[in-house]
Amino acid sequence: MLTRFRRPVTVLLTIVLVWAHLDPTQACTGISLKSTDGAVIVGRTVEWALSDAQHNRIMVVPRGKAFVAMTPGGSNGRRWTGRHGFVSMTAYDQPYGPDGLNEKGLYVGMYYLPGYASYHPYDPAQASASMSVGDFMQWMLSSFETVAEVRRNLTGIRVVNVDDPRFGGAALPFHWKIADPTGASIVLELVDGGQMKIYDAFLGVITNAPTYDWHLTNLRNYIGLRPQASEPLSIANLTLGPLGAGSGMVGLPGDFTPPSRFVRAAALTASVRPLPTAGDAVFEAFRILDSFNIPLGAIAPREQVATDIDSATQITSASDLTNVRYYYHTMHNRQVRVIDLKKINFATVREQIIDDDAGPKHPVRELTVK
């Protein structure tokens, strides 16, 4: 029997490894937490990169900005004026990136969805309703205050693929997590040529492919996971007890694939202890997300590990939607930094990029012993 199945399994593993090598940018993990004082926190890791995407560059966008969306035909897409200012992670010197937070506490995050995301075909006659994936993110952040408001305004929006040479002209297949200070959180996916699917985000958890409904079904394979230790089992004259703490989580997947990360994120989020304040929830989000950090070279063939940083965790963010504060640390600087949006006058602030990483050097504070 073993011989019979060896060839199909080998072929399957080869296909998986080739797919992973050709498409390395698919490992981002998102969670949500809520403190007992009512604060809503959204956290995520970012591995969205074909190289060093410089996600540490944070963009500040003022209120009242005039936007013109990109389409395959150029700068001829939807036009609008932003009602709200926001901050956004960026990528490859573009004016958008993996996530952002606006001055009203609306959060929008993009997550890779290769093989499943499928946008509207571009129709020049409908250019005025069309926008790229980055424009779609900026449109939501600049226009709305709540998840409910976003949902009410999605009719007629056409998200189209716009080739970007920074990605080798490849499509940018994403889905989106959208959350607000009420605790509302949805996942929005575009499939089958622009068909929109909206899901309530289970515990605020999101990863990558397959589609969100598949991940929810897959959770049924892990209903035995629990934070409590397993009870000893007696068989005949032998009693088998746990070897140590964590026995209730035996079977929790620990690899970096999107299905495994989804299960792990759901289990760790569901088992989190009570968190008294927003600050407690922010740093618990960072602690949980440490479980999802992908080291350099961990998911690349050994002989191909180079000087680049494909698919490594480049930045981790935590957005306090209630107090409107954007926290982050990077792979080059683990010190947590924060932007307090309430302290920004978005009516007068100039559009700008904040780059607080001073090269790939971790700051270390020496303790003096007297």
Q: pLDDT digits over 264-305, tens only?
A: 999 999 999 999 999 999 999 999 999 998 777 666 666 665
**Residue 72 falls inside a structural domain:** yes
Check: pTM over 0.85? Answer yes or no.
Answer: yes
**Residue 8 falls inside a structural domain:** no
Angle between helices 278-289 and 258-270 (to 10 degrees): 150
**Residue 84 falls inside a structural domain:** yes
Of all residues in the chain, the percent with pLDDT exceeding 70 is 85
Domain extent at residue 261: 23-353
Residue 323 belongs to domain with CATH number: 3.60.60.10
CA distance 271 to 266: 9
The total of structural domains in the chain comes to 1
CA distance 112 to 224: 29
**Residue 347 falls inside a structural domain:** yes
**Residue 244 falls inside a structural domain:** yes
**Residue 358 falls inside a structural domain:** no
pLDDT tens digit sequence for 186-212: 999 999 999 999 999 999 999 999 999
Q: Is the pLDDT of residue 13 over 70?
A: no
For 288, which DSSP code?
Answer: H
Distances (CA, A) of 338 to 292, 318, 335, 349, 354: 21, 9, 10, 17, 12
Q: Is the pLDDT of residue 35 over 60?
A: yes
Q: Is the pLDDT of residue 124 over 50?
A: yes
Phi, psi angles (nearest 5°) of residue 278: -60, -40
Weakest-pLDDT range from 27-36, 52-61, 251-260, 319-328:
52-61
**Residue 332 falls inside a structural domain:** yes
**Residue 106 falls inside a structural domain:** yes
Helix (H, G, I), strand (E, B) or coil at 220: helix
